[in-house]
Structure 1
Amino acid sequence: MQSSVARWGVGEWVVLFCLQATTWGGVFYVDSDAPEGGDGKSWAGAYTDLNRALDEAISDDEIRVAGGVYRPGPVGGNRELSFFIDTSITLLGGYAGAGQPDPDARDIAAYPTILSGDLNGDDAVVLGLEDLPGEPTRQDNVYHVVKFGQNSERSVLEGFIITGGNANGSEWYNSEGGGISGWDYYFSPPLFRFCTIEFNSSGQSSGGAYVQGRFEDCVVRFNYAVNYGGGLGSVREITRCVIEDNGCGQYGGGLNLWSARVVDSVIRKNTAAYGGGIYAGPAGIEMTGCTIENNHASVDGGGIYVSNCGTCNGFPVLYRCRIIGNTAGGNGGGFYEDPSEGWLWSCLIAGNTAGGMGGGIYEGSDGYCGIVNCTVFTNTANDGGGMLYLNAYSTIEGIVRNCIFWGNTDLTGTGTEPAQIHLVGQYSTGHVPDDGPLSALAYHCCIQGLTNSYTGSGNISSDPHFVDGYGQDDQPGTDDDDLRLLEDSPCINAGDNGMYSCEMIIPGTLPGTGTGTSNGTFPGEEGYSMCGRALFDLDTRARIRNGIVDMGAYEQKSPGGNIIYVDDSAPGANDGTCWGDAFIDLQDALAVAIPGQEIRVAQGVYRPADPNGSRESAFVLKGGVVMLGGFAGFRADDPDARDIRAYETILSGDLSGDDYIFSGDDDHGPWHDCSREDNSENVVLASGLQSGTVLEGFTILGGQGGGGLRCHAAVGLEVRDCLFRENLASAGGGLHISDSTNCHATNCVFTDNYATGNGGGIYLHGQSLTVDHCLIVGNQAEYGGGMYLDNVAATIVNGTVAHNFAWDQWGGVAVEVGDDVVGELRTGHFLSCIFWGNTSENDNVETSQIGRNFGNATFDFCCVQGWTGKFAGVGTIDQDPLFVHPGHWDTNGTFYYYDDVWIPGDYHLQSQSGRWDAALGGWVQDGVTSPCIDAGDPMAPIMYEPFPSGGVINMGAYGGTAEASKSWFGGPICEAIVAGDINGDCKVNLADFAILSQHWLWDGQQTP
């Protein structure tokens, strides 16, 4: 993993505000209650007509709309009118607007912003959704409330209620998408967030919306279409949405999908003739983590109906979904497929009912349905199999693996094999990974009433021992049921691992574009691998936890284990055994951790106590426990993916979550701000720890009094890849280590920390302490703005200590030994470091960088501003290091230090050959080259420095890392490595031999 110095751009703090807008272009303001005649450039002069702002907006503009009701035309206006968007803009609703104390206050619940197609404002309440298109009071409503043109890619619509559209026109283009209508977008479809789409209708399809858009955190309800998709149709992505109480006369009460992804969404209480919840057309869909419940189809497919796909490559994959409590008057109470190819993986199918055949699943002729690790429980059908009805009259291909079929009912009874799996017609095998008899259908399954009449190997018929299959309400297929396995279940470790091989490729395609045949392919490629996707159960618990996969949708958690998981949004049992069951409170994980265990913490903000908790609360490290941040967490495709910048894991002392964020525009600094008075004194504490304790990959902020991390009497503590910012203490605002031995801080950033006494960034006291490859910038203290070494034996390697401030002495680093320890071996050794731009009130240039009081300090191969040579050391220079863009203090025009605000910068070294630009994510060339490049310790390994590296490590925090600036030799940049060319100048000469000889002699001296 790259060092955090390379990963954390000091100026790139990300502050997340709920529904906070980001402005790139111009901003227009709209408020229906504003005075007429405004120019739309402020709340006081807001437009009252939204269409006025839409007409004037150009690409990347933003329109902010206050709470109120907005209609696209006047009373009695043309039904063709709509809010028309034909450029890439952002529309934001939910503002307080003009006349409010804070017009920019935004709360979509408190200030509902309604876009209504009811031009006359007279819509009557209907008795049933099917009456919406023909209701007399709706015949003057517009066909489409919001309409997107061909040029509206990348548009965003956020925080609106869209209602009253009635697309019942005779032309096809006025019969689709009553609420929203749009184009087919192939690259960047519009995004809809935090919207409610309700009481819209269409005479043909997609009552709520017909647009290839992306929907996030939306509610779609009470919409109706005559033929296809009562709620939404033709959409591309649906994430964390609720689709409920919609209706359709024919296909898809909630959704009509042709090539789409649906993630973490709920589809419930929708009705249609075919596909009460969802109708999936002849193209692939992928559903992950969804709940399809209590939907009804008067004919077939109560939950979901997959249509004829005999000639297409697309097919449905449902992964970790719950299909419960759905009903169908005909066939397929939960899932209907005829004929098609589909996969159900780690799904729960329970409590569904069909008046005809297939209570849980109906598979029609010439289809192929793969069902892997599903629990199919208490489904009911009148005829032909309560769980699964295979209408196999011709070439049906079936594969059922690692499933549990229990408690399903049909006319043969409850507990018979045909009630679980009823096979009708002549079956021919195919797509079964291992060879089996032609009559083989199910492998490694638990089947009630098993007779082995048409099953393969590894099946059992023992009671699976569910925790509580019927729940407190004693009803199957409801939310209180618990179909996890008890510890004595015969289904534990009884499955077949073959389906979890990355060699297992599903034929066909899923939503997207492109082709390919490699394993691990993504949707849209030819051939679809579940590798990396099917490795989790319905609780997102890892599969194959004890060597063999369990049967059913849930994997039994392992007792004990060396990894404890923490994720503040985990939905499961919250016992720390996996990402799905992760602790949501880091304190719970620390409470149970024992030496030798590892705590993995997902992205998010974690506080040591609730808002009413004690200021003495802190995260107390456990000895011998490794604590790691920066994980993606359970909502990601790969929860174990780790990137400390992309998945920032914050340990915050801001118990109330109300710390004010300061910038250069403020008239005072953070340290005396009242919003921090209730913060915890310390964020992290470590006391009396032994070797093996690690803290890695965290942002630590908001400690108020004791600082970020306070360590006392510890041995061997490792702090790696951490960012310490905005902490306050009497000594060591960011990090305080005292009376400790062999402790190390590596690849860390210390910035904007504050100490009322010694060491704004770091305070060290003890033996054999090391600070390695750390960036220490923009900190304040009375003594030692950056660091304070107090009676310590410490080594500082490849540090950048810059632009820190001391309001008394030693702005950069202070080394001090008290009278009681004079003569003992207490020293600070600084190697390959940069000290530049540090300031203090009572020092000259050099002592503002480095200062000592009876202490020993050696500076080898360092860059020190104002260097006079009075300190010991060799190879040290006094030349401007040429940082890319140094940070600075905004003094707010006063001489008081406590109102200063730190403005961060970029501390990479400039290079004509190339230096890393974090903002661009690539290499750029400068007009000058830093003298600190290739000027560090000549005996240090260059480690990860990119070619050409010069053969000598750079000074500063980025030296020896993958982001070290490249060497410059005054001529064309060397593009290729030449054998024997150690320094990278494209020549093999005495310079290379000198480097080799120097290292050879050094190695010989170090060998006893």
Structure 2
Amino acid sequence: MNAKLQRIFARLSIVPIVLLLLGFGAPTWAEAAGPLCYVNDNAGGINNGTSWTDAYTDLQSAVGDTGCTEIWVAAGMYRPTAGADRLVSFMLKNGVSIYGGFTGTETQLEQRDWVLNETTLSGDLNGDDVGFTNNGENSYHVVNGGGTDSNAVLDGFTIRGGNADNASSFPHNAGGGMLSDGSGPTLANLTFNGNTALNYGGGMFNLNSSNPLLTNVTFSSNHAADLGGGMYNSSSSPTLTDATFSNNTALSGSGMYNISSSPALTNTSFNGNTATNYGGGMYNSASSPTLTSVTFSDNTTTNYGGGMSNFGNSNPTLTSVTFSGNTADLGGGMYNSASSPTLTDVTFSSNTAPSGSGMYNVSSSPALTNVTFSGNTATNYGGGMYNIDSSPALTNVTFNANSASNGGGAYNYSASNPTLMNVTFSGNTAANYGGGMYNYVNSNPALLNVIFSTNGASNNGGGMYNRDSS
């Protein structure tokens, strides 16, 4: 190297030393914390997110740091804003994974425990909620899907205190816990609890082809004054695995409300949800969800479909599903109107309603294979099943120990013509007529290899009673 070049490099090498001596460090905009960033609301240090010691104390700071692609959050309470702007949410981002459930000392993701170390995202901006009161200042949506895809991850949090109550500004009347508009994030190990909406989706509102992936997620004690206490899906098809919907409330669809949607549910339970009108557990309108290994238990509604209500050409597919202990005015387990669900390996047990305790069908033709109706009780008609202007197809179906005033096992009315193949009626009872089956007004079922045994009726037709039918 010649002498001239040596002098130039020597001068350049002095520049950073002089800057440091003058008190200038590296520019802060060039020193992002990521890709792994830390958040702990009790952290000391310099709070730049580079370690647990120097963790950000505000989750929004980490989300806003463009260098953070994986964010670890210690147990604590985190709010979307320290101010009073109800429009502010935790906005998910593609390529960013946010994990909760840490104590603040872990070095491996697998060391966290999101159950023991509850990490809460709260919309209660003032911290003064008492149930669903004192929440007028709460965030409209605690979390927003932000148009993301499956590369946006939220994992290990409790989401509570969202209050979507803006009657004049859609969608701020929906999705108190989470709003997902055209989004498909990956959501795991989450609990949506104590969120509310004026209209739709107290826990979560999915619209415009939102297809989030939800695993090990619980929706509990959420409320919608209108539809979908736990979740509301509009033209959206989320995938849920190992999900629980419990103690949610709404006018209809207290656990889940679907309109023009086809969610897929596996290993999911609906328990103790309460609706004023229809669908204590689930309500479907022009929707065809797929349910595998799903349980509906102890759900209630004042009107139709304690476990599930299907309206308007809804044709869900159910495999290995159980309806037990559900209550309604019509259709304790399931109510179908102009809908034809497909049921395989399904059990209806100990459901109650004045009519159609297990299943109530209106202008519907469901297909049932390997289905059992047992111990369902109706005070009026159809302990196991009630059909009006309906023609379900039953194959390998058992009606056992159901009871009603008329039609202990099944009641067919007004041109209902079910097809029964390999069906057994045993131990069913009627206080009046038709211990096993009652057919009335041009109802003409077709029976092939059907067994009636030990059924009883106080008046006539211990096995089958026909009136104006053949």
TM range (shorter): 0.7 to 0.9
* Contact 2:412-2:438 within 8 A present in 1 as well: no
C-alpha contact (below 8 Å) 1:238/1:263 kept by paired residues:
yes
- Alignment check: 8 A CA contact 2:320 2:345 kept: yes
Task: Give, in angstroms, the shift of residue 209 of structure 1.
Answer: 1.0
- Cα distance, 1:184 vs structure 2: 2.5
Aligned in 2, Cα 1:451/1:316: closer, same or farther, shift over 3 Å? closer
Provide the C-alpha distance between the structure 2 equivalents of 1:451 and 1:68, rounded to a whole number of angstroms.
59
Tell me the equivalent position of 1:848. none
Q: What is the aligned counterpart of 1:297 among 301, 311, 322?
A: 301
- Measure the CA separation in 2 of the matches of 1:109 and 1:53: 23
> What is residue 257 of structure 2 aligned with on the other side?
256
Alignment pair present for 1:239 and 2:234: no
For 1:51, what is the secondary structure of its paired residue? helix
In 2, are the aligned partners of 1:88 and 1:151 still within 8 Å (CA)? no
Partner deviation per Cα, 1:423-472 (whole Å, 9 max, x = no partner): 11113xxxxxxxxxxx55211100135579634110112369xxxxxxxx
| Residues 1:266 and 1:463: Cα distance change in structure 2 (over 3 Å) | farther
Residue 85 of structure 1 corresponds to 92
Q: Which amino acid aligns with 1:398?
A: P
Match for 1:402 among 396, 407, 412? 396
Taking a change above 3 Å as real, the CA distance of residues 346 and 192 of structure 1, as seen in their structure-2 partners, is: same
Is residue 2:221 matched to residue 1:222? yes
What residue is the counterpart of 1:851 in the other structure?
none
Where does residue 405 of structure 2 map in the other structure? 411
Amino acid across the alignment from 1:96: T
Whichever residue aligns with residue 256 of structure 1, its letter is Y
- Classify the secondary structure of the residue corresponding to 1:53: helix
**Residue aligning to 1:35:** 44
Note closer, same or farther for the CA distance 1:119–1:410 as it changes in structure 2 (3 Å cut). same
Q: Taking CA–CA contacts closer than 8 Å with sequence separation of 6 or more, which of the two structures ends up with the larger relative contact order?
A: 2
2:453 is the alignment partner of 1:458: no
How far residue 315 of structure 1 moved from its aligned partner, in angstroms, is 1.4
Q: Is the 8 A contact 2:305 2:335 kept in 1?
A: yes
Q: 1:280 aligns with which of 281, 284, 287?
A: 284
Deviation readout 1:622-642 (Å, 9 max, x if unpaired):
xxxxxxxxxxxxxxxxxxxxx
TM-superposition CA deviations, 1:279-314 (whole Å, max 9, x none): 1221211111111000001111000111212xxxx6
Aligned match of 1:193: 188
What is the TM-score of this pair, normalised by structure 1? 0.38
Letter paired with 1:335:
M
User: Deviation at 1:226?
Assistant: 1.2
What is the DSSP-based 3-state SS (H/G/I as helix, E as strand, rest coil) of the residue aligned with 2:62?
Answer: helix
- 1:297-376 equivalences under 5 Å are 297-309=301-313, 315-328=315-328, 330-355=329-354, 357-365=355-363, 367-376=364-373
SS at match of 1:160: strand
| 1:149-228 pair list within 5 angstroms | 149-170=146-167, 171-185=169-183, 189-211=184-206, 212=210, 213-228=212-227
Give 1:27 deviation, angstroms: 1.3
Corresponding residue of 2:432: none
Deviation (angstroms), 1:318: 1.0
Q: CA deviation at 1:193?
A: 0.9
Aligned-residue offset at 1:46: 1.1
Gaps of 5+ in 2: 1-33, 427-434, 440-444, 456-470
Aligned AA (1:298): T
- Corresponding residue for residue 270 of structure 1: 273
Matches of 2:438 and 2:40 in 1, distance apart? 70
Task: Work out the CA distance in 2 between the residues paired with 1:286 and 1:57.
Answer: 39
Separation (CA, whole Å) in 2 of partners of 1:399 and 1:37: 69
> Which one has the bigger strand percentage?
2
Contact 1:341 1:368 in 2 (8 A): yes
Report if the CA contact (8 A) 1:179-1:200 is conserved. yes
Aligned residue identity for 1:336: Y
Identity of aligned residues (%): 30
CA distance, structure 2, for counterparts of residue 215 and residue 37 of structure 1: 35
Larger mean CA deviation between 152-161 and 101-110 belongs to 101-110
Cα separation, 1, equivalents of 2:341 and 2:76: 46
Q: Which residue, out of 53, 70, 73, partners 2:62?
A: 53
Name the residue aligned to 2:73.
Answer: 65
Q: What TM-score comes out, normalization by structure 2 length? A: 0.80
Alignment counterpart, residue 111 of structure 1, candidates 114, 117, 135: 117
Output one character per residue of 1:851-896: Cα deviation in whole Å (capped at 9) or x when no partner: xxxxxxxxxxxxxxxxxxxxxxxxxxxxxxxxxxxxxxxxxxxxxx
Aligned to 2:4: none
Counterpart Cα distance in 1 of 2:107 and 2:171: 42
- Take 2:400 and 2:418, find their aligned partners in 1: how far apart are those partners? 19
Distance 1:151 1:291 in 2: 31
SS in 1 for 2:331: coil
Distance 1:92 1:281 in 2: 35
3-state SS in 2 of match to 1:444 = strand
Per-residue deviation at 1:210?
1.3
Amino acid at match of 2:281: G
| CA positional deviation for 1:124 | 1.1
Contact 1:96 1:103 in 2 (8 A): no
Structure 1 residues 151 and 277: CA distance shift in structure 2, 3 A: closer
Q: 1:361 to 1:81 in 2, by over 3 A?
A: same
Q: Distance in 2 between matches of 1:101 and 1:238?
A: 29
1:106, 1:44 → 2: CA distance?
17
The residue that corresponds to 1:984 in the other structure is: none
| Amino acid paired to 1:107 | D
Kindly state the Cα deviation for residue 110 of structure 1 after the two structures are TM-superposed: 2.5
**2:382–2:408: 8 Å Cα contact kept in structure 1?**
yes
Counterpart of 1:442 (choices 416, 420, 430) is 420
- In structure 2, the partner of 1:424 is 413
Question: Compared with structure 1, are the counterparts of its residues 451 and 263 closer, same or farther at alpha carbon in structure 2 (3 Å cutoff)?
Answer: closer
Shift of 1:101: 8.1
Matched-pair contact (CA < 8 Å) for 1:301–1:332: yes
Code of the aligned partner of 1:385: G
* Matches for 1:608-687 after TM superposition, within 5 Å: none
Partners of 1:231 and 1:398 lie apart in 2 by: 31
Pairing 1:146–2:154 present: no
What letter corresponds to residue 36 of structure 2 in structure 1?
Answer: V
SS at the partner of 2:61?
helix
* Counterpart residue identity of residue 180, structure 2: G
CA distance, structure 2, for counterparts of residue 256 and residue 206 of structure 1: 8
* TM-aligned CA deviation for residue 32 of structure 1: 0.6
The Cα offsets for residues 949-1004 of structure 1, whole Å up to 9 and x where unpaired, read as xxxxxxxxxxxxxxxxxxxxxxxxxxxxxxxxxxxxxxxxxxxxxxxxxxxxxxxx
Counterpart contact for 1:36–1:47, Cα < 8 Å: no
1:245, 1:270 within 8 Å by CA — same for their partners in 2? yes
The residue that corresponds to 1:978 in the other structure is none
1:42 Cα deviation after fit: 1.7
Q: Which residue of 1 aligns with 2:9?
A: none
8 Å contact 2:410–2:436 — kept in the other structure?
no
SS at match of 1:264: strand
CA contact (8 A) 2:289 2:315 kept: yes
Amino acid at match of 1:371: L
CA RMSD of aligned residues (A): 2.0
**CA distance 1:452–1:160, shift in 2 (3 Å):** closer
In 1: Cα distance, 2:317 partner to 2:124 partner = 39
Contact 2:180 2:205 in 1 (8 A): yes
